Chains A and B, each alone.
Chain A
Amino acid sequence: MKSKLANSRFNFPSNTKNLLKSKRPNSRFNFPSNTKNLLKSKRSQLKIQEMSFMLLGLVLFFIIAGLFFLVVSNAGLQEDVETLNYEKAVSTITRLAGSPELSCGKQLCVDADKLVVLKQRESFKNFWDINGLVVKKIYPSEDEEIECFMGTYENCNTFTLKEPEQGFIEVSSYVTLCKKDVVAGYSYDKCQLAKISAYIEK
């Protein structure tokens, strides 16, 4: 069946129900009288297109702006983490000398006897929230660096409690390093000057 309208640009079936119809009286399109849906003009189409492109543009702009903000804020986050880690390390190093694991019982005093024992104990390796822990005797000074073990204990100068990993920064403090000694049957604490260093992420 064909449309009876001679100048129609479209041929629709007579029972078509979902066709669009222009509201304008001088429309270029002539549709069957029983068409129910509306047909927008070219001008409206253009406006819709404009609007969709505008929407797309706007969203793209916000995405780019958001990405920029994310990059900036992530840089800030990294900085915050670094600051917090540094603060943590500084506070840790000042507390470490006084901790029961290392302390000789006096303020800023480290027990060398405990250090050499602790070196052998795996359980304490991850107890301190740091990436390396070293205690070095600095006075009286010695030219050669000798790591302390049970066998080298009397002549050593470095206690590596947790091996520092590569790429970490050092935070240190001066402490007294004491060990038990006996002279003429009397025991006393023989003390020297040392540096305690904690290693943290950059």
Chain B
Amino acid sequence: MKRRGILPKSKKGIEMSFTWLFAILAGTAILFIAIYAATQFIGVAKYQQYTEAAKSITILIDPLETGIASAIGDIIAFKQETRTHYNCLAPNSAEPFGKQTISFSEKSGLGREWGVPGGEISIRNKFIFANNMEQGKNLYMFSMPFNTGFKVTDLIFLSAEEYCFIAPPNKVEDEIEQINLKNINISTSIKDCPEQATTVCFTGGCDIVVDSEDYEVGAVIKDGKTVYFYGPLLYGAIFSDSKIYECNTQRLLAKTSELAEVYLDKIDLVSIKQCDSAIEPFLQAISSSAKASKSSITFVAMADLIEQMDKREGQATCKIYS
């Protein structure tokens, strides 16, 4: 008995089923490719936009580097709520001063969900103190020069949150008034602080506690972690999370050490012209202790040394860094 085929023998029958198959398969494939391409394209466009925004932020920060000014404050206002993400890489053999990265994202799409951050923009020559992520419509920023006798850099502080400083000492109050940023309030008691503000206390218990006698050197306790500050690093300890703070401190120590060596070489160079300096041993001590240490407490330990060096430099006829 001959077994009959399941498919009809007529060519027209085959043609018809092929058309169906073609229409279904081609239609599905085409629609899938179109939807996939569209989503990919939107994703690429968003990534590009966010990366450009991060790059723009780094450019907008540039004027904050004060040169010879003491402090500068400014605001970056966005059209909608945004997120800026910060990361820090400690110094290593490939990156002698370490680096920081900034990436950007905002709410987008029908559900107004947070987009995936764009490309990370690397920064090697800036020291930005901020939380791991800052979220808000405004990004408040200010800068202050950081000196270890000689100027090391301008520290940049970024924040989208509101802060309330409760009964700050005169030195801190003057500095905050000079910066004049809307997100930093000064209050005499915790009750007068805005509800959503992060409170900063100089005595007693708050979200952030500053423990210091002269507010030149001391410690800041935030989220149960203690970090140490020297000079304007106080604001770095307040406005950034401990991980970024310690990483930036390591970067600062690396730069302090390198600059101290530059000044040591300069002393050698100008000594040929009988321009002698007495700060050489201080610079050597600063350079070696900055190179050896990886903690924020090093600057506290170096404070006396810096003060003595500054005094000697002030008395010298041949000045090296001033």
Contact = CB atoms under 8 A, between A and B. Distances in A.
A45 interface: yes
B23 A52 contact: yes
B120 interface: no
A45 B270 CA distance: 94
Interface residues on B, range: 35 or more
Interface in B1-49: 4, 6, 8-10, 13, 15-16, 19-20, 22-23, 26-27, 30-31, 33-34, 37-38, 41, 45, 48
Given A63-B37, A77-B48, A113-B266, A185 B274 contact: yes
Nearest to B62: A91
Contact of A126 (B27, B48, B124): B124
Contacts of A45: 15-16, 19
Contact of B27 (A52, A70, A111, A116): A52
B96 interface: yes
Contact of B125 (A51, A105, A127): A127
Interface residues on A, range: 35 or more
Interface string A48-80: 110110011001001100100010010001001
Contact of B150 (A51, A63, A91, A100): A100
A117 B19 contact: no
Nearest to A80: B52
A164 interface: no
Contacts of A59: 30-31, 33-34
Interface stretch (A6-14, A137-145, A166-174, A193-201): A6-14
Contacts of A180: 270, 273, 275, 318
A129 B124 contact: yes
A26 interface: no
Interface string A1-36: 100000001111100100110000000000000000
Q: Which DSSP category, helix, strand, loop or mixed, fits chain B's interface? A: helix
A84 B33 contact: no
15 contacts: A40-B16, A45-B19, A49-B23, A52-B23, A52-B26, A59-B33, A70-B41, A77-B48, A87-B59, A91-B63, A99-B125, A113-B266, A127-B124, A153-B269, A182-B273
Interface of B: 4, 6, 8-10, 13, 15-16, 19-20, 22-23, 26-27, 30-31, 33-34, 37-38, 41, 45, 48, 52, 55-56, 58-59, 62-63, 65, 67-68, 96-97, 123-125, 150-153, 258-259, 261-262, 265-266, 269-270, 273-275, 317-319, 321-322
Given A63-B37, A95-B67, 14 more contacts: A52-B27, A55-B26, A55-B30, A59-B31, A59-B34, A63-B34, A70-B41, A105-B322, A111-B266, A113-B266, A114-B266, A121-B261, A124-B258, A182-B273
Interface of A: 1, 9-13, 16, 19-20, 39-40, 45, 48-49, 51-52, 55-56, 59, 62-63, 66, 70, 73, 77, 80-81, 84, 87-88, 91-92, 95, 98-101, 103, 105-107, 111, 113-114, 116-118, 120-121, 123-124, 126-129, 150, 153, 180-182, 185-187
